[in-house]
Structure 1
């Protein structure tokens, strides 16, 4: 278009210059010139004037064409601006999805690192238990392999019974500890598999919600209660897909009152592990957005999108005035999530009103599409999973402390048993020496009495037999042969 204007101006300047040149030539010619020459110049002047009129007509036609082109360009420019706005909204949504995916990847990495740490701890604890079991088995085998004489048999059986009583709670705690470790390992593996499929589940859920939104948009028009129920239905679908459980992780229609006594009933209150809460609202008016989707003329569509952005801005203002976080108490995060159940509706509103996002942030309201809310709830679910794992780890740590305390108590009792066995051995050796190893022993005195004529039903054993144990059957535990049977 600028080239056409320049061409017209150049033609006008050329015509004006030619006319001026002819006038100058006519004035400079002498009056003695012939009439023929004068007529010729007059004819040329007439031709120049005709050419000028023709050029003026061409310029008028070109200006009309230029105005027509400008009129055609205006709707094209409006469509171009609309396309730019939609592209900006899509780019913003893509950025949010990338951030959500980065958050999920970070959670996955943290969960994997924690799982590896738990596996190493499980392996170390298993090795410790196996080693302790081997040592205890060896100690018990050594203890059980020793045989005692009839004089210490009752004491040994009583000690063995005491050891079994001591070991029974210890073995039960070991079994309980192993069960808890196995349950924790199984839950970790299950959570890891669930997290690995989170992205695919999010994608399929988004497609399902888009299809349902396309089928229900016409039925929702003009009925406020149906619109509210449908928004809550879409919110319920997102909550089910996030893995959160009602009653434990979130609650519906939580009733509370503000300072003026007005009853407030937010759609969803999501709980966090640290006793904090987040409010989610889903009552959004989508009539103007439906009008925009059904509009055929660009100007009608633009007006409907403008009304849609105004309605969403008004809803943000209403949520800010209700101030759910203040009414629910200081444990509630100072933001309210405004759930828009259709991705395209939120993108269209942000494209029509570039300041809508900042307007909502200033009033502590966060606009969330199904994908954005799903990412947020997934993070909340991972926080609950991490909290549960930490509590289980603390419980295992406490159980391990109790196990170590029980083991220390058992070792102390085992040392007492060993000390008593040593005392029994010392008592046995002392009794044996008094019996026949001393010149003044009971056995030597009995032999002297037998030599003087005293007789019993059975003669006393010889000295060699008595020294080897003989019929007395009094054999020290360390001196007994491995295959020696106990006396009848």
Structure 2
């Protein structure tokens, strides 16, 4: 009889250890479910979180992961140790009193639960690591995307508003100012070819800057180039275009003959001076064409822009000899007046704006695609953890049913042993 009491004591002790371990596993599963709900809530409010919240969340998740792993590892080791101890003692000390049916029921009860807990522990470890990493990356990518969208939106709206307000006004003001400058400087420049060239270059630079282009970034003055023979050339200005292409602009001034034509009182004399004016412009065209800037400057658009910085002189030349445009074009030269140049530069500025906007759109699309992929990965991890919890809950319910429900369940058989005369000091929990 003493041996029976001893055996029952050992069996009850092992059973209590098993029940305590089962309670720890259920508590861990509940805690994991709560942590998953917190993680989902934090993801939905990621945009409002500052950098401090992200760091704090990362530390919290890492700490939670470490604690969870420690608890699961401790529970697993404790359960394994207790099961081995219980099985060894029961087999060695109570082999006569434990029939084959009881042994099979006990093994069937413990083995699936042990396997499920082992698999769930591995899934939780891997999935939680992946979830923490994905959540951090999703927050970072999402915040960067929102910031980029806001910057692009602000920049685009501001640029469009400014362009609409001043584009037409600048065209008119620049044309009038250049015309006035040409008239006021006519006497000072008359007969001085070097001064005329310097004045044309100054007007060209002012016009480029007035149209919103940035010096040494979108246009360059007097940049040096060499031909195949090693000869150096310095065009007045080179404009960088989106896509790596370049446009060469050279200012040419022919004031002497034109001023004489303006001051002439006789129609015949005026016609002669205008022909001299045409001849002077053609001379500039020939000289500029001979430099072959379109072949010397890398990725040149194929034509050189010749800037005539006074509107009236350009108009008089076109009126006197309309064929001068075709003459220039055949030599890969395009004649531009101040108003034509302003429109061309406004178009260039618009091209740069569109280029930047398209580049920003590409970056936004890339960031958005990356954000979407990260969210998909997080969702898969989230569902994987949920499936693991459901499986553990199912195994728990099955084990509970085998323990305390149905005919011949272990709890009922233990309670029936009291009628045989055993007097345990403790009672089984009411929940069993």
- Select 1:247's aligned residue among 212, 216, 229: 216
Cα pair distance change 1:296/1:451, threshold 3 Å: farther
Distance in 1 (alpha carbons) for counterparts of 2:133 and 2:322: 77
Distance in 1 (alpha carbons) for counterparts of 2:271 and 2:219: 39
Secondary structure in 2 matching 1:367: strand
The equivalent of 2:196 in structure 1 is 227
The equivalent of 1:153 in structure 2 is 27
The answer to whether residue 234 in structure 2 is matched with residue 265 in structure 1 is yes
Secondary structure in 1 matching 2:249: strand
| Contact 2:278 2:321 (C-alpha < 8 Å) held by counterparts | yes
The equivalent of 1:369 in structure 2 is 337
Secondary structure in 2 matching 1:285: coil
Larger RCO (CA within 8 A; separation ≥ 6): 2
Q: Deviations over 1:285-316 (max 9, x none)?
A: 32222233344444443333222211111000
The answer to whether residue 311 in structure 2 is matched with residue 343 in structure 1 is yes
Distance in 1 (alpha carbons) for counterparts of 2:376 and 2:223: 52
- Select 2:297's aligned residue among 321, 328, 333: 328
Cα pair distance change 1:149/1:202, threshold 3 Å: farther
The Cα of 1:200 is off from its aligned counterpart by 2.1
The equivalent of 1:319 in structure 2 is 288
- Select 1:433's aligned residue among 364, 383, 401: 401
The answer to whether residue 214 in structure 2 is matched with residue 278 in structure 1 is no
Q: Deviations over 1:306-342 (max 9, x none)?
A: 222111110001111111111124x212211100000
1:23-422 maps to which residues of 2 (within 5 A)? 151-158=25-32, 160=35, 161=61, 162=128, 163=131, 165-197=133-165, 198-329=167-298, 331-422=299-390
1:1-12 maps to which residues of 2 (within 5 A)? none
Secondary structure in 2 matching 1:243: coil
Distance in 2 (alpha carbons) for counterparts of 1:351 and 1:402: 60
The Cα of 1:239 is off from its aligned counterpart by 0.8
The Cα of 1:429 is off from its aligned counterpart by 0.9
Which one is further off, 272-281 or 339-348? 272-281
What is the aligned-residue RMSD (CA, Å)?
A: 2.3
Larger Rg, first or second structure (1 or 2): 1
Distance in 1 (alpha carbons) for counterparts of 2:208 and 2:419: 104
Q: Deviations over 1:408-452 (max 9, x none)?
A: 211211121111111221222123123312444332233123333
Q: What are the ranges of 5 or more consecutive residues in structure 2 without an aligned counterpart?
A: 1-21, 36-60, 62-127
TM-score computed with the length of structure 2 as normaliser? 0.67
Cα pair distance change 1:455/1:251, threshold 3 Å: farther
